[in-house]
Amino acid sequence: MFNTDTTVLDTLQARARKLAVVETPVADEPTLELFYFELAQETYAVEARYVVEVLPLRQLTSLPNTPDFVLGIVGVRGHIVSVIDLRCFFDLPQQGLSDLNRIAILRDGRMEFALLTDRTVGTYSLPRQALQASQPHLNGIRREYLLGISDASWAVLDAGKLLSDSRLQVENHA
């Protein structure tokens, strides 16, 4: 038969109440949807909301009298997009172009350009709080555009700052 001792029943009921409590989640923590890519054997990411499209690098036309970091222009469905090489802008090791190179077209309300990538990797959601402060190996200009470091040690770049930086805007002064 069953032991009907009140302390045992009280203990079992207390355990049942504790197990039945459903924890309410803390207010939705803001997350970042990141697009990440490789550049000079390092992994970088930008917020995916700025990435309009990712395409293979094809029919690149170089432009004379532009800064070194402007790789050239490409035609994308009838309009011209400049291609920025962050390897040059961030003073990273250079390597030639290959069939694996892709461009990620970034856009906000005012500016649009394509970033050259050595390889695109994909997208990833990350809680904003998970971003860590800068690491010592990121110095100089890369630190200036850094939003934070992900838990996987990706440098998350501030795409909004890149898009609004006047140094990345090429103007015709002719």
Read off the pLDDT of residues 74-115 as tens digits, 9 standing for 90 and up.
999 888 999 999 888 888 887 777 777 899 999 998 889 999
Residues 6+ apart with CB under 8 A from 73: 60, 61, 63, 80, 81, 82, 83
Residue 20 bridge partners (DSSP): none
What 3-state DSSP class applies to 158?
Answer: coil
The residue ranking higher by pLDDT, 31 or 23, is 31
Can you tell me the distance from the alpha carbon of 58 to that of 83, in angstroms, rounded to the nearest whole number? 11
Give the single-character DSSP code of 125: E
| CATH number for region 31-166 | 2.40.50.180
pTM over 0.75, yes/no: no
Domain ranges of the chain: 31-166
